[in-house]
Amino acid sequence: MAPRAALLLLLLLLPHNAAAGGAGTAAPSPAVNPFTAKAAFIRYWNRKVPNNRPHPAFFVAKLSPLPAADTASFPSALPDIRARLPALCSRAGLLCAGPAADADAASLAKAAGPFKGYSNANFSNYGTGGDQGADSFRNYSPDLNIAADSFRRYGRDSSGRADRFESYEADGNVVTANFTSYAGGATGGSGSFAAYAAGTNVPDSTFTSYDAQANGRARGFASYSQEANHGESGFSGYGRSGNGVRETFASYGNESNVLASAFASYGQSANGATDTFTGYGVEGNVPENTFRSYGAGGNAGVDTFKRYRDDANVGDDRFSSYAKGANGGAAEFQSYGNSANPGSTVFKGYGEGTNPNHHIGFKEYAGENNTFKGYASTGVDFKEYHNTSASTLTVSAEVAASMRHQHLKWSPEPGKFFRERELVAGNRMPMPDIRDKMPPRAFLPRDIAARIPFEPNAVSEVFGLPLDSAMGKAVASTVAECQRAPSRGETKRCATSAEDIVDFAVEMLGSDVVVRSTASAAGSGGDIRLGAVTGVDGGRVTRSVSCHQSLFPYLVYYCHSVPKVRVYEADIAAADGEKINRGVAICHLDTSDWSPAHGAFAALGGRPGEVEVCHWIFEGDMTWTVAD
């Protein structure tokens, strides 16, 4: 090809305006190789949104970094994609799971107990049949994406062994821990889980048959899953047939968001088991706990639930066949269920059986939507029990209203929701934690994303994610949310590529659009002062398309069209007046279709349709509007 012709071809391939920054933040970006997936997308953008405005830097940064050769040679068949993926994960900016490495036996023996800085290790059968000694796991798997740890049959049949897990999987993303048959049949010894999975995103822990048939063993869970987000913990068969096993759950799941725990056959047929749940689920958001066949057939077991689910938001507890057929069992519910917003509790078959030798007490128990179905006719004492729902155990309307007022303490994080009148220069207000807590990922090019069916089994196969792991469950949850029918008045779409997002925004708003996001997370969690505040489109009521990240191996956004909003840009300064950020806020003017239990009304007061609700666009999310 002649040099002049080659030069003309190169100019045609160069992305138009590729060096421009984000909307309102025109930071130059480096020139893009015209043959890459990133350059192809920018050309697509220019065709769909021909308004000659800068390409937003925050959006361009999410585009696929795949080199041109890898993009061109990417396979089509799922087995071939799976085979190529390990080599492409980092180059494509994907979130891929690696297998847990078996811990080297020689190095473990030399470690003599303290394990610091380990991650993604397999400690199966470690310490089996061991005598005395102590193991300490400190700062284990911290700050990891997709941590996968296995402690199956750890310490089984051991004697007098002490285990301590301190700051385990703290601040991780999508962590999976397997403690199946841990310390089964062990004699004596103790175990401590301190600050376990604190601040993690989607923790998934399995304690199946943990301490089963153990003898005289003590176990403590202190600050377990505190401030965690959307996690699951399974305690099936925990302490089953154990003798003198003592379990303490202190500050379990406190301030967590949608944490689900299952205690199936926990302490079943145990002898002299003592379990204490102190401060369990305090200030949690929609905690869900299931106690099925808990303590059934046990002998002289003592269970205490103190300050359980205090000041929580909604929540759901189920006690099925709790202590059924137990002998000499005692259970005390002290200050149980003082939730800020009413949840539900079901007691089915509670204390039933042929053996009347048990005592179950409800002291200062308060709540709504409680059901007692088939509980024992003797040995159950309701002392200072308050149920504000319409059932056989009710109090007066005046007392119920007083109780609701007294216990309405739960509220979202300060600054998460605010009124439109607060968006004025000079106003001081709290800034919520707007940090992007999702693991870093990039979009897949549209033609590559289309080769992977958007369903859990296919994604599990391609990315090597077991469906029963934390990440596997997150994938299934994302797909289910995307397949959910839209709410009334909602138009939604799950975008599996950058092109999908642009298409949806243009379809909803037209081709003359801009996209905005808060510039950074500066100011998060502290008090801020607003500088200049500007209303988008002159502050007029408009329509927007908001897009929120979903948890998936590659970037997937849940986008929905939001009618009747006003969007604002605001300079954000620290308390001393120094500018630190440029924020984007959206105010929803019509909240009539919102749930009365929405956290915004707990924070601001009012009911659906009565007040507008404003919030910041968090780091990693975005909102589209018609261009000014």
Does residue 552 lie within any of the structural domains? Answer: yes
Q: Which residues contact 348 (CB under 8 A, 6 or more apart)?
A: 318, 319, 320, 321, 371, 373, 374
DSSP-assigned states of every residue in 408-467: TT--PPTTSSB-GGG-STT-EEE-------SPP--PPPHHHHTTS-SSHHHHHHHHT--T
Q: Does some domain include residue 279?
A: yes
Contacts of residue 79, defined as CB under 8 A and 6 or more positions apart, other chains included, come to none
**Cα–Cα dist 424/182, whole Å:** 57
Query: In terms of pLDDT, which residue wins out, 616 or 138?
Result: 616
Model confidence pLDDT, tens digit, residues 67-98: 888 888 888 888 999 898 888 888 899 988 65
Asked whether the beta carbons of 527 and 431 are under 8 A apart, the reply is yes
> What are the tens digits of pLDDT across the range 425-434?
999 999 999 9
What total number of domains does the chain contain? 3
**Cα–Cα distance, 348 to 342 (Å, whole number):** 19
Say yes or no: 605 and 471 in one domain: yes
On the question of pLDDT at 624 being above 70, the answer is: yes
Give a yes or no: residue 25 inside a domain: no
Q: Quick one: average pLDDT of 294-298?
A: 63
Range of the domain at 129: 114-239+246-252
Task: State both tokens at 562.
Answer: 């939001």
Contact (Cβ atoms closer than 8 angstroms) between residue 193 and residue 221: yes
At 22, is the pLDDT very low, low, confident or very high (cuts 50, 70, 90)?
A: very low
Q: Binning pLDDT at 50, 70 and 90, where does residue 576 land? A: confident
Burial (CB count within 10 angstroms: exposed 0-12, middle 13-18, buried 19+), residue 51: exposed
At residue 330, the pLDDT reads 67
282 and 233 in a common domain: no
Whether 80 is covered by a domain: the verdict is no
- Look up residue 182 and give its amino acid: Y
Q: Please, which residues bridge with residue 333 across strands?
A: 305, 362
Closest CA to 60 of 438, 560, 502, 434: 502
- 466 and 501 housed in the same domain: yes
Q: Per residue, what are the HEC states of 505-520?
A: HHHHHCCCEEEECCCC
Q: What is the pLDDT of residue 345?
A: 73
CB 398 within 8 A of CB 368: no
- 235 and 271 together in one domain: no
Rounded CA gap, 555 and 202, in Å? 17
Together in a domain, 355 and 494:
no
- Residue 408 within any structural domain of the chain: no
**Residue type (1 letter), 85:** L
Highest mean pLDDT among 244-248, 260-264, 381-385, 416-420: 416-420
CA distance 560 to 172: 29
Last residue of a domain, one of 228, 252, 276: 252
Residue 519 lies in a domain: yes
Contact by Cβ (8 Å): 14, 43: no
Q: Are residues 271 and 219 in the same domain?
A: no
517 and 382 inside one domain: no
Give CA 532 to chain center in angstroms: 34
Look at residues 345, 374, 390 and tell me which one is the last residue of a structural domain. Answer: 390
Report yes or no on 81 lying in a domain. no
Q: How many other β-carbons are positioned within 10 Å of the β-carbon of residue 489?
A: 12
Q: Is the pLDDT of residue 220 over 50?
A: yes
Residue 566's contacts (CB-CB under 8 Å, 6 or more residues apart) are: 420, 535, 536, 539, 540, 541, 542, 586, 587, 589
Q: For the segment 473-532, what is each residue's pLDDT rounded down to a tens digit?
A: 889 999 999 999 988 778 999 999 999 999 999 999 999 999 999 999 999 999 999 999
In a domain, 66, yes or no: no
Contact 240, 273 (CB under 8 A): no
Q: Are residues 475 and 609 in the same domain?
A: yes
- Is residue 236 very low, low, confident or very high in pLDDT (cuts 50, 70, 90)? low
